[in-house]
């Protein structure tokens, strides 16, 4: 007798699928999870295909150990989407599927909602003469309830106590049964619409266009400065969909920074949103996943991996701050949540909304070439005024703690008006290095070949590349001098400095050190909103999500380091950062001003950004990219290799290079050392594939990856492929 064969995708970094016999589980479906023995382990995989025959000899073919789902855990569109993703990113299908499931399901938890036990009256219980329970009035009362309708075990025991329930069970008057609770799909009826502002002309045009794309795929790019009313457009665009019972998935860079946004969605519709983020316990994550899948949640708001949330009746996907780097996964399967969302929306036939004050050049190009609908919001909504931008030429200026004297007076003015001032510096710690004034020795992390950062708060030296920390030496290890000096400026030092420069003014630091821990960031932000601090010192965190309505002045202390970077995206990132930071400030009636401290005031990028804004800058930057054939006008794939031995890393990439087939428009660059050549004691090298056609990269990789997996060195070095790499560190 022959049995059907399941092709199982396992969560291991192998591109192949594995054959198992479905003996005893002939009814199994594609998309269901199975438990199989693999080597000496038991693994949970997903049935990716079912076929009649296997290439394996019958005696080698094992049967699956258990079938975990009667139905597919994924909808058909979802499965097709993940298949596409596996091919696009050339990443093992099993790992892609595992990524798309909450942790508990990867471990074998039940995918559907838990069954519950309930009680009902038996026929004996229905027909019993009440007099027979005369001496047990509680039992009679419980029985009478159950004669009317079933009750869950919990409800009944809460009401009457276990003893009563057990007595009725023993007498055979009631019986227990299991059932799957029906999903509660009543939320559309519970929507309570709060007041909303009348959209301005640009907003109306956009809302109408989205409405007109109806129940079909269409990607809209919403480009508008912070405060121009993008969130308001989201809210009004999803309103008709929610009222029809369609679910909305909103992706945000970081939930801790966007409590205001979450609240606005919830308050507008009077609905609780399902939240998905890294701080969530596994059980809660599974619950949100289940509720979204069963259609019980109208609103789902989450970070990167929330893009995988299943929806019973999807209505729209929104990617807020679509340019944000956090949408790109930086290890394992290096997917880009925004790009996945685009394809998902197409397959689910729903509109997609990308919003940003500073769109990525990739999305902007798609909008300018007509692939996406492009909507501009040029005005700040309501009565908010645009922020004034100015450059401060630092050359020859006296600086205190990195802050030019001229600006200090300006800061005092803003403070005396009762406003807050934000100082932006992208370097945490006290100082990026500790140097010996006597002999020049710099304490460096040997595993990364970079200087340690001095942290006064922790009283430690810390390597920002591998996390290694050690105590601060009292004397120079090279010459024993005690003249060790911090060089450069970090957030901690700036905080100290401001206390000296502005005595009596409360300064607060917001970086990943001070905001570590649950609710810590939230508390800091609340204290700032309440006006407990006047000077805000921050890193990149400040550029995301949160609004600071009382901030009237923003100073970016050092823009020069980004102007001269080896990363071709550095200028784009700097422009986004500056624009975002500026946009977080000066809401409502306050006139905001932004100051950039630089030694290169004439730099064309700064000049363009300053005089013409991000929109102009981005279009110019696109022209430049086109001219030099960089993304989005070419496509890239990157082999990354790490090894204890630099030679091995290099040799492996040379062998990889030989395996890659030649195509007319495919260029190979490398092997080259990564921007960070060494990290945690490992040497890092890269090989870049670049092509004018997306498919060129895909075809080349598809043709050679199996052979590369089989190279002897492939098991001795750590390597990965990164499609559309976002950074080269």
Cβ atoms of 450 and 465 closer than 8 Å: yes
**What are the tokens at 33?**
């999870």
Give me the residues paired with residue 667 across strands: 690
| Closest CB to Zn ion among residues 477, 710 | 477
Residue 183's Cβ-count burial label (10 Å; 0-12, 13-18, 19+) is: middle
Binding mask 593-632 for Zn ion (x = CB under 5 A): ----------------------------------------
Cβ atoms of 235 and 191 closer than 8 Å: no
Q: Which of 54, 90, 231, 360 binds ligand ADP (CB under 6 A)?
A: 231
Q: Three-state DSSP class for 330?
A: coil
Determine the interface stretch with Zn ion among 193-201, 320-328, 445-453, 527-535 (rule: CB under 5 A): 445-453
**What are the tokens at 445?**
């992390």
Determine the interface stretch with ligand ADP among 105-113, 194-202, 308-316, 607-615 (rule: CB under 6 A): 194-202
Q: Which of 102, 229, 315, 429 binds ligand ADP (CB under 6 A)?
A: 229
46 Cβ contact partners less than 8 Å away, ≥ 6 residues apart: 8, 9, 31, 32, 33, 34, 73, 74, 94, 97
Q: Which does 256 bind (CB under 5 to 8 A by kind): ligand ADP, Zn ion, none?
A: none
Q: Three-state DSSP class for 197?
A: coil
DSSP 8-state class, residue 448: T
Least separation in angstroms between CB 534 and ligand ADP: 23
CB neighbourhood size of 688 (10 A): 17
| Closest CB to Zn ion among residues 468, 677 | 468
Consecutive H or E run containing 496? helix 491-501
| Closest CB to ligand ADP among residues 235, 638 | 235
Determine the interface stretch with ligand ADP among 163-171, 177-185, 226-234, 646-654 (rule: CB under 6 A): 226-234
Strand order in the sheet with 460-462: 453-455, 460-462, 469-471
Q: Which of 226, 247, 358, 691 binds ligand ADP (CB under 6 A)?
A: 226
Least separation in angstroms between CB 557 and ligand ADP: 25
**What are the tokens at 633?**
């006008």
In whole angstroms, how far apart are CA 69 and each of 18, 29, 47, 74, 601?
A: 19, 8, 10, 11, 63
Least separation in angstroms between CB 437 and Zn ion: 8
In whole angstroms, how far apart are CA 682 and each of 47, 652, 716?
A: 37, 14, 13
Cα–Cα distance measured from residue 320 to residue 231, given in angstroms and rounded to the nearest whole number: 9
Q: Which does 232 bind (CB under 5 to 8 A by kind): Zn ion, ligand ADP, none?
A: ligand ADP
Helices (H) and strands (E) in the chain, counts: 22, 34
Consecutive H or E run containing 486? strand 484-487
Asked if 491 is part of the footprint of ligand ADP (rule: CB under 6 A), the reply reads: no
Q: Three-state DSSP class for 712?
A: helix
Q: Which does 485 bind (CB under 5 to 8 A by kind): Zn ion, ligand ADP, none?
A: none
Least separation in angstroms between CB 708 and ligand ADP: 45
Asked if 230 is part of the footprint of ligand ADP (rule: CB under 6 A), the reply reads: yes
DSSP 8-state class, residue 562: H
| Closest CB to Zn ion among residues 234, 452 | 452
**DSSP secondary structure of 126-149:** HH--GGGGTT-HHHHHHHHHHHHS
Residue 625's Cβ-count burial label (10 Å; 0-12, 13-18, 19+) is: buried
Determine the interface stretch with ligand ADP among 52-60, 230-238, 437-445, 690-698 (rule: CB under 6 A): 230-238
Cβ atoms of 491 and 521 closer than 8 Å: no
Q: Which of 235, 448, 521, 582 binds Zn ion (CB under 5 A)?
A: 448
Asked if 228 is part of the footprint of ligand ADP (rule: CB under 6 A), the reply reads: yes
| Closest CB to Zn ion among residues 343, 466 | 466
Least separation in angstroms between CB 353 and ligand ADP: 12
Cβ atoms of 643 and 649 closer than 8 Å: yes
Q: How many residues bind ligand ADP (CB under 6 A)?
A: 15
Residues 130-149 that bind ligand ADP (CB under 6 A): none
Least separation in angstroms between CB 200 and ligand ADP: 5
Residue with tokens 């403070």: 415
| Closest CB to Zn ion among residues 526, 644 | 644
Residues 461-480 that bind Zn ion (CB under 5 A): 463, 465-466, 468, 476, 478-479
DSSP 8-state class, residue 307: G
Asked if 382 is part of the footprint of ligand ADP (rule: CB under 6 A), the reply reads: yes
Asked if 194 is part of the footprint of Zn ion (rule: CB under 5 A), the reply reads: no
Cα–Cα distance measured from residue 550 to residue 634, given in angstroms and rounded to the nearest whole number: 43
486 Cβ contact partners less than 8 Å away, ≥ 6 residues apart: 430, 431, 433, 434, 435, 454, 493
Signed CA dihedral, 206, 207, 212, 216: sign only: positive
Asked if 588 is part of the footprint of Zn ion (rule: CB under 5 A), the reply reads: no
| Closest CB to ligand ADP among residues 552, 686 | 552
Least separation in angstroms between CB 229 and ligand ADP: 3
**DSSP secondary structure of 626-645:** HHTT-TTSSEEEEEEEEESS
Q: Which of 19, 69, 223, 232 binds ligand ADP (CB under 6 A)?
A: 232
| Closest CB to ligand ADP among residues 161, 197 | 197
Asked if 570 is part of the footprint of Zn ion (rule: CB under 5 A), the reply reads: no
Least separation in angstroms between CB 460 and Zn ion: 13
Q: Which does 381 bind (CB under 5 to 8 A by kind): ligand ADP, Zn ion, none?
A: ligand ADP
Asked if 381 is part of the footprint of ligand ADP (rule: CB under 6 A), the reply reads: yes
Least separation in angstroms between CB 340 and ligand ADP: 23
DSSP 8-state class, residue 60: G
Asked if 21 is part of the footprint of ligand ADP (rule: CB under 6 A), the reply reads: no
Q: Which of 94, 199, 253, 490 binds ligand ADP (CB under 6 A)?
A: 199
Asked if 200 is part of the footprint of ligand ADP (rule: CB under 6 A), the reply reads: yes
Asked if 336 is part of the footprint of Zn ion (rule: CB under 5 A), the reply reads: no
Least separation in angstroms between CB 279 and ligand ADP: 24
| Closest CB to ligand ADP among residues 95, 232 | 232
Cα–Cα distance measured from residue 410 to residue 581, given in angstroms and rounded to the nearest whole number: 18
Determine the interface stretch with ligand ADP among 198-206, 430-438, 621-629, 660-668 (rule: CB under 6 A): 198-206
Residues near ligand ADP, by CB under 6 A: 197-200, 203, 224, 226-232, 381-382
**Sites of contact with Zn ion (CB under 5 A):** 436, 438-439, 441, 445, 447-448, 463, 465-466, 468, 476, 478-479, 481
């Amino acid at each position: 007798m022959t049995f059907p064969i399941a092709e199982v995708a396992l969560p291991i970094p192998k591109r192949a699928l594995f054959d198992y016999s479905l003996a005893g589980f002939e009814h199994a479906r594609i998309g269901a999870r199975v438990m199989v023995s693999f080597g000496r382990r038991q693994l949970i995989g997903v049935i990716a295909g079912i076929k009649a025959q296997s290439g394996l000899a019958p005696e080698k073919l094992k049967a699956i150990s258990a079938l975990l789902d009667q139905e597919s855990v994924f909808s058909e569109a979802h499965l097709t989407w993940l298949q596409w993703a596996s091919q696009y990113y050339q990443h093992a299908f099993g790992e892609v599927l595992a990524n798309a499931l909450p942790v508990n399901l990867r471990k074998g938890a039940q995918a559907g909602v838990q069954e519950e036990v309930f009680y009902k009256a038996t026929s004996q219980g229905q027909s019993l003469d009440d007099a027979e329970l005369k001496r047990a009035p509680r039992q009679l009362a419980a029985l009478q309830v159950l004669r009317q309708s079933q009750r869950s075990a919990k409800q009944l025991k809460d009401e009457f106590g276990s003893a009563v329930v057990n007595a009725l069970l023993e007498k055979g008057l009631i019986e227990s049964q299991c059932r799957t609770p029906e999903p509660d799909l009543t939320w559309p009826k519970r929507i309570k619409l709060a007041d909303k502002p009348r959209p301005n002309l640009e907003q109306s045009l956009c809302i109408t266009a989205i409405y007109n794309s109806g129940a079909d795929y269409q990607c809209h790019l919403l480009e508008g400065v912070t405060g121009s009313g993008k969130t308001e457009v989201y809210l009004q665009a999803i309103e008709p969909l929610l009222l029809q019972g369609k679910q909305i998935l909103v992706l945000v860079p970081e939930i801790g920074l966007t409590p205001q946004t979450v609240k606005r969605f919830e308050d507008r519709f009077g609905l609780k949103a399902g939240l998905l983020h890294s701080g969530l316990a596994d059980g809660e994550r599974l619950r949100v996943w289940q509720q979204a899948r069963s259609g019980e949640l109208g609103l789902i708001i989450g970070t990167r991996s929330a893009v995988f949330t299943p929806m019973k009746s999807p209505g729209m996907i929104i990617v807020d701050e679509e340019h944000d780097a956090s949408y790109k996964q930086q290890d394992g399967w290096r997917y880009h949540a925004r790009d996945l969302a685009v394809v998902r929306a197409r397959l689910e036939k729903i509109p997609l909304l990308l919003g940003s004050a500073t769109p990525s050049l990739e999305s902007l190009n798609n909008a300018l070439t007509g692939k996406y609908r492009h909507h501009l919001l040029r005005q700040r909504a309501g009565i908010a005024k645009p922020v004034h931008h100015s450059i401060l030429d630092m050359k020859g200026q006296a600086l205190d703690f990195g802050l030019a004297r001229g600006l200090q007076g300006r800061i005092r003015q803003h403070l005396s008006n009762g406003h807050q001032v934000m100082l932006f510096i992208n370097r945490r710690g006290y100082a990026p290095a500790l140097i010996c004034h006597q002999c020049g020795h710099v304490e460096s992390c040997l595993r990364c070949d970079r200087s340690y950062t001095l942290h006064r708060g922790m009283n430690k030296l810390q390597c920002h590349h591998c996390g290694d920390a050690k105590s601060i030496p009292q004397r120079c290890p090279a010459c024993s001098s005690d003249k060790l000096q911090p060089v450069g400026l970090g957030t901690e030092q700036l905080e100290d400095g401001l206390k000296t420069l502005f005595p009596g003014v409360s300064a607060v630091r917001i970086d990943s050190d001070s905001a570590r821990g649950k609710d810590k960031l939230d508390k800091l932000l609340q204290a700032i909103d309440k006006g407990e601090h006047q000077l805000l010192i921050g890193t990149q965190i400040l550029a995301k999500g949160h609004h600071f309505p009382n901030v009237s002045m923003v100073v970016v202390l050092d823009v020069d380091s980004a102007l001269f970077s080896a990363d071709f995206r550095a200028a784009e990132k700097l422009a986004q950062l500056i624009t975002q930071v500026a946009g977080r400030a000066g809401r409502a009636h306050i006139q905001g001003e932004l100051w950039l401290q630089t030694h290169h005031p004439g730099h064309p990028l700064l000049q363009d950004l300053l005089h013409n804004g991000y929109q102009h800058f981005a279009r110019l930057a696109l022209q430049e990219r086109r001219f030099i054939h960089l993304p989005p006008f070419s496509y890239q794939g990157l082999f990354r290799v790490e090894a204890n031995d630099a030679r091995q890393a290099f040799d492996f990439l040379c062998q990889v290079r030989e395996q890659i087939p030649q195509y007319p428009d495919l260029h190979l660059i490398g092997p080259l050392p990564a921007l960070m050549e060494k990290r945690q004691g490992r040497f890092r090298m890269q090989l870049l594939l670049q092509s004018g056609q997306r498919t060129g990269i895909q075809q080349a990789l598809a043709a050679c990856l199996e052979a590369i997996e089989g190279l002897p060195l492939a098991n001795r070095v750590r390597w990965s492929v990164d499609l559309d790499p976002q950074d080269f560190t």
